[in-house]
A and B are shown apart, each in its own frame.
Chain A
């Protein structure tokens, strides 16, 4: 089965500090995409960052960056200089299973930010 695993249900970080959210996945493909989505209390799903597996360079979007370890099938999200507005649920996702572009999501991590 094609799975996405987020083993930490909750994490907490002090404002202005750095936090890393973990994600592992299962795939038999060599070329694929990986995503992190943020879901604040409003429930709106917001795309945070995208990684293309064939690119060796880790993706970066402002304070958000990923640590992509293809061999280990690990895709963690690092949030630097955490802000109160970063408090949300974070979901790791990847396309599949199958050829169509549906996404499979992990169960999510609830991130709280302490002022």
Chain B
């Protein structure tokens, strides 16, 4: 059973460009979470999605950031018009059930904005 997959692993964007981060959850998992990790910090929750629905986006900046988890295909975290402060590691996690809170993490995407 393959783990959570994220790609790309490293992404370099210039200020003002768009960044698209992809996450394929573990097989059978329908709950996806995105977290951001700034240098020397813990992970901070951004958004929680189930298939085709955003359940909780309380941690996501109101502007420039969006997320989706379509019926078919990976979950996408999209950052428009990136700025230097967006440079971070972005982690995706998935879970089979919501109530166990047991989340399995992908390897992360390190975004560098130049």
Contact = CB atoms under 8 A, between A and B. Distances in A.
Chain B interface secondary structure, helix, strand, loop or mixed? strand
Chain A interface secondary structure, helix, strand, loop or mixed? strand
B108 A43 contact: yes
Given A43-B107, A43-B108, A101 B41 contact: no
A105 B43 contact: yes
Interface of B: 31, 33, 35, 40-45, 48, 55-56, 58-59, 89, 91, 93, 95, 98-105, 107-108, 110
Interface of A: 4, 33, 35, 37, 42-47, 50, 91, 93, 95, 98, 100-108
20 contacts: A42-B107, A43-B89, A43-B110, A44-B107, A44-B108, A45-B43, A45-B93, A45-B105, A45-B108, A46-B105, A100-B56, A101-B31, A101-B99, A102-B56, A103-B33, A103-B35, A105-B35, A105-B44, A107-B40, A107-B41
